[in-house]
Amino acid sequence: GQSLEQPSEVTAVEGAIVQINCTYQTSGFYGLSWYQQHDGGAPTFLSYNALDGLEETGRFSSFLSRSDSYGYLLLQELQMKDSASYFCAVEQAGTALIFGKGTTLSVSS
């Protein structure tokens, strides 16, 4: 089967940098995605990594190490609006995206 592990909660202050880790166990791995979900809202796509290394998109970056079955989402210059839940999800052969349980990020001033 598949399993993903990520911290349940992270807290930080405005302007700080936070890293949300994700470890996974799966077969037929294609890539790792990250989604953001604000309270009461729909999850929205943030990033995708298929190859080892860092992908940068503005204030957000995502990293993947396939050999370690590990990835992380890095959020820089945190803003209050970044308070949300963040989900890692594995993309694999023959099935839909499988999501972790999510990390709730609380940003305070």
Partner 1 sequence: EAGVTQSPTHLIKTRGQQATLRCSPISGHTSVYWYQQALGLGLQFLLWYDEGEERNRGNFPPRFSGRQFPNYSSELNVNALELEDSALYLCASSRSQGRNTEAFFGQGTRLTVV
Q: Using CB under 8 A, list all residues that contact partner 1.
A: 30-31, 33, 41-45, 48, 50, 87, 89, 91, 94-102
Comparison of 14 and 101: residue with beta carbon closer to partner 1: 101
Min. distance of Cβ 50 from partner 1 in angstroms?
A: 6
Minimum distance from CB of 22 to partner 1 (Å)? 12
Which amino acid is it at 15?
G
Q: Is 88 in contact with 74 (CB distance < 8 Å)?
A: no
Rounded-to-integer distance, Cα 11 and Cα 108, Å: 8
Cα dist from 103 to 59, 68, 87, whole Å: 18, 20, 6
Identify which of residues 5 and 14 has a Cβ nearer to partner 1 in the complex.
Answer: 5
Strands 18-25 and 44-49: unpaired
Instruction: State which residue, 32 or 75, has the beta carbon closest to partner 1.
Output: 32
* Pick 74 or 98: Cβ nearer partner 1: 98
Pairing of strands 84-92, 98-99: antiparallel
Residue 69 CB, nearest approach to partner 1 (Å): 18
